[in-house]
Structure 1
């Protein structure tokens, strides 16, 4: 989802919960008695996507991960329509997140892990390559960050896969997004503390 730079953390979290949990759940419960369960779930699952589209119209910026999530939703809907299994829609974000987690893990086999590549593009620091190649602390930091986030993302996917087999659809719509927010939130908090403890080694 898109979060404006002026949003406080509390407002951002409330907005995330409303868009990803409250509204999809209410839409599903309102529609489930009027249309097929698959149709109700597809409409409910599209709410976060519509919020992303709104953010794109407002800012004229759409990152690659948002496009990845959009593709995952479409694949989930198509797979559900072909198989009749709602779990494909319930796991719509998991396709992209799982692939990203695996990509991060595989990138550790190469000299420059993915998080270094992302940071280089984001920070636009012409000296970053030199710092990475000459400073062992910088290399160790990016490799550890890449490993941790690979584990975080793959763990998040594993939890959602377990939940989709254990919970009903309406409970999954509520519990799964909250579980994702908690897991990713812990990863973000750890990242901030770790980078701070390293005294910003990329500088």
Structure 2
């Protein structure tokens, strides 16, 4: 019942704190690529115009990494995405092929999520721990202590699998759109799909995490009641 108001409050607080960042990402990842391609297509052709239009998002990623540089799981993921994007730019081929190669970044990350869950090292846990460590070492250590709890490990694994599958579904839809839409239309639709996927996965993660936390607290309360019950009964006799 109270998860929805809590979610709205958190979204509002996030937008107040990161509104400029969100607008910057929209400009660099959505508006600039479309505008650059629109004006560069005629003089440069489809392929070169696509290459030029992909420069702002890659430069943005490099700047963000330089600002928050730290060697952890989150940094490795960011650097891997930048490297794959650069490989996609340098690989050559036609315009459609170039668009498909750009989705390689999302596909590889999605597979990495699934593999990490299979080997018992769920990436959601690693990324959450890296994010907490950036803010507070003590908070990160408390988070790490939860690893002894089987329910916590299961929650991290389920989240990781859902994120992996969600990213792969995003890739599959994008592959269809590459051949169904014009390049200009795809440049509009693809960022919306990408941000929509990330938003949906983030919302599900928040709601699932809240539910898992409530269930964990209920199990601990029930276990405590069972442990106290016999003792209190014995003392009463």
TM-score of the two chains, using structure 2 as the length reference: 0.71
Seen in structure 2, the aligned counterparts of structure 1 residues 69 and 25 have a Cα distance that, compared at 3 Å, is same
CA RMSD of aligned residues (A): 2.5
In 1, distance between residues paired with 2:159 and 2:65?
29
Seen in structure 2, the aligned counterparts of structure 1 residues 8 and 183 have a Cα distance that, compared at 3 Å, is same
Secondary structure of 2:166's counterpart equals helix
Segments of structure 1 that go 5 or more residues without pairing to the other structure are none
Q: Verify the 8 A CA contact 1:17 1:178 in the aligned structure 2.
A: no
Deviations 1:94-151 (A, max 9, x none): 2122112112212222233222233344434335554323x12101210111111011
Seen in structure 2, the aligned counterparts of structure 1 residues 120 and 50 have a Cα distance that, compared at 3 Å, is closer
**Alpha-carbon distance, 1:9 to partner:** 5.5
Matched, 1:69 2:81: yes
Highest RCO, 1 vs 2 (Cα 8 Å, sep ≥ 6): 1
Q: Verify the 8 A CA contact 2:170 2:197 in the aligned structure 1.
A: yes
In 2, distance between residues paired with 1:34 and 1:73?
24
Secondary structure of 1:32's counterpart equals helix
In 2, distance between residues paired with 1:108 and 1:55?
27
Q: Verify the 8 A CA contact 1:69 1:93 in the aligned structure 2.
A: no
Counterparts of residues 3-22 of structure 1 (less than 5 Å): 8=17, 11-22=20-31
Equivalent of 2:163 in 149, 159, 182: 149
Matched, 1:132 2:147: yes
In 2, distance between residues paired with 1:122 and 1:143?
18
Seen in structure 2, the aligned counterparts of structure 1 residues 112 and 34 have a Cα distance that, compared at 3 Å, is closer
Deviations 1:60-92 (A, max 9, x none): 52722332222222221222x2x3x11233235
Q: Verify the 8 A CA contact 1:38 1:86 in the aligned structure 2.
A: yes
Q: Verify the 8 A CA contact 1:77 1:88 in the aligned structure 2.
A: no
Task: Single out whichever of 59-68 and 30-39 deviates more from structure 2.
Answer: 59-68
**Alpha-carbon distance, 1:45 to partner:** 0.9
How many residues matched? 192
Which residue number in structure 2 is paired with residue 168 of structure 1?
Answer: 182
Segments of structure 2 that go 5 or more residues without pairing to the other structure are 1-13, 134-139, 217-237
